Structure 1
């Protein structure tokens, strides 16, 4: 259906006729309307309670600070991080290699120089019927009582006893370094009654007192033991004390008090650092209950402690100890022709670890005309003892004596 106004839809609603004033609904208050809205069809505004006028509270401005801080300047803009230049690995490696090369050349040069300072003697000369080469490596170590080169002050400090003609030996050690296994250090008593070439039977230290004593002593030891001696080293009073002082002394556990004016020592029992003169007196002294047997045991114990200190990292990496020790060793030792400083280094390294220390099997003592008290070897045990070393085997346990 079309409406009259032209719009589609039903008929337009008719306007509601106006109501008379008397027919208008009664006005409603706000309280009569539940939702608070004005009543339908008009009405009065809600009643308001008048309030007195009050001025707003004024807050005084804050007082300025007593010590005003100046305004901080604006922070400078951060600098961009510096770019690290990449390291060149090749340059660093070249520097290390160059440093090592310089140290190696200096070390080789120093060792070669010191090797020329070794005192050499013809101790290993061949002779008719000499023992053939035996397995392993055998050293003969000799401690000489030579006072050569000592000043009067050194003689008094070392209690050397003044100028004595000739030379003798209080220390004879045989060191066997096997191809595998523990090194063996054998003390040979100086009063051992053995055959001496050109003399006959006598005390073994008499061999060292002969002209060309080094050769005679080597031949005597080879014939008595059946071992071929490959290297020889000899040291005197002053050299021994000097090496000990060069490495800063040696800590030694003295097993009992030793008071020996002849050796220049008065040592209490217990572990202590021995200086050069004290160490020399310790290995020389016979002022103990077993005299020479105690001395040989003390010599072996001290040799072990000395070599342990000489080959320790505190010595090897400290040039203030290593160089004086090497210099003193080169100037103090006598070695066989053909022996070198690196041979001595090999000996020291072989003796630094666990090793077997013992004495030749003793059979008893005897008084011999012209020789006095002599020491006799147990022939049967000594034969088995040295046969084991000649075949590069460990000595049977029941033949070991005098082990500290």
Structure 2
């Protein structure tokens, strides 16, 4: 296993070369290729009618939502994947991507799906009926009011203005993993969850799309902790990028297009995220290294906060969350937790926290 220093050097060289290759690819192949990709995206309007939004800060904020939709999966595939036949149209993963104004830093902050939230008043998307503001879990915002309610709820919780919205389904996720040849992850302890189909002995494994889905969705390992699930999602995102760079996907226009096309098959985006914006984003991140790509999670006060009618929810540590999102609003690096805080879920009843921000370098095998 490479040392941390060797890993950082390897990552720095490879991600710079890979992203530079991506910029050359999309610029050389031209707007036609990027336009073809964007034409395949589903379109949503998550910003229509939103009022009293947070002020725009420096940098760019993209809300990334993984959904539990089963669209495109056969009954046999649903059974094999342990995803059931009925989707709640909820958010399985919610992340905020912040790209700094100078293009020097990318921060990915996970918002636990079970976060205790106040959903603003809305029109219930399933029936068209009116719902007053009420407490619920964050992931329910998508099923109650679609992308618009999800954006409103996240902005109310964080005070961060969302500039763009991307939503991806199970199907696209698995296709993308398979196209790049699988993703390598490592674990020091066995991971088993009969609900998601996850069954990994301790060690290093290359996951295909189906196994990768179980890895990022499993909720009954790590003591049932939503924070443990978030950390696995961070590890997987870092490993996914590692494999994209290793496979030469970014330097191969045909393979790059196949990979992106697989993703766009079941991806929805806001109308403002077009070909020009994608090109701008590619150019903006062309000089990033993984040492400047950080993963963070909202600090929590109680990872198993019981609420009548909702069950177990994740209650944020208000002071810690305020520090974190103030840094995003002000385009500053993610803050480290103050000294003296106890690890999340230690059972002492003291204020708990999520792990300190981690670079992608530290997540690879």
Q: Partner of 1:110 in structure 2?
A: 33
Q: Partner of 2:344 in structure 1?
A: none
Which of 221, 241, 249 in structure 2 is aligned with 1:315? 249
- What's the CA shift for 1:311? 4.7
RMSD over aligned Cα, in angstroms?
A: 2.6
- SS of equivalent residue, structure 2 residue 160: coil
- What's the CA shift for 1:217? 0.7
Which of 274, 278, 290 in structure 2 is aligned with 1:353? 290
Aligned 8 A contact 2:222 2:229 in 1: no
- 1:34-73 equivalences under 5 Å are none
- SS of equivalent residue, structure 2 residue 265: helix
1:284–1:349: structure 2 CA closer, same or farther, 3 Å change rule?
Answer: farther
1:312–1:109: structure 2 CA closer, same or farther, 3 Å change rule?
Answer: farther
1:307–1:349: structure 2 CA closer, same or farther, 3 Å change rule?
Answer: farther
Is 2:277 aligned against 1:338? Answer: no
1:154-186 alpha-carbon deviations (Å, 9 max, x no partner): 223322212x15411121111111124432111
Aligned 8 A contact 2:193 2:221 in 1: no
Q: Partner of 1:93 in structure 2?
A: none
TM-score scaled by structure 1?
0.69
Q: Partner of 1:327 in structure 2?
A: 261
Using the alignment, how far apart are the partners of 1:119 and 1:308 within structure 2? 27
1:125-175 alpha-carbon deviations (Å, 9 max, x no partner): 24221112111111111110111121223223322212x154111211111
Greater alpha carbon shift after TM alignment, 293-302 vs 257-266? 257-266
1:105-126 alpha-carbon deviations (Å, 9 max, x no partner): 7553232222211111111224
- What's the CA shift for 1:242? 0.7
Structure 2 unaligned residues grouped into runs of 5+: 1-25, 122-132, 339-352, 359-365
Is the helix fraction higher in 1 or 2? 2
- SS of equivalent residue, structure 2 residue 248: helix
- What's the CA shift for 1:382? 1.3
Q: Partner of 2:93 in structure 1?
A: 171
Is the strand fraction higher in 1 or 2? 2
Instruction: Provide the aligned length of Structure 1 versus Structure 2.
Output: 302
Aligned 8 A contact 1:248 1:321 in 2: no
- SS of equivalent residue, structure 2 residue 295: strand
Using the alignment, how far apart are the partners of 1:254 and 1:395 within structure 2? 26
- What's the CA shift for 1:344? 5.3
Larger RCO: Structure 1 or Structure 2 (Cα < 8 Å, ≥ 6 residues apart)? 2
TM-score scaled by structure 2?
0.76
1:156–1:144: structure 2 CA closer, same or farther, 3 Å change rule?
Answer: same
Is 2:312 aligned against 1:366? Answer: no
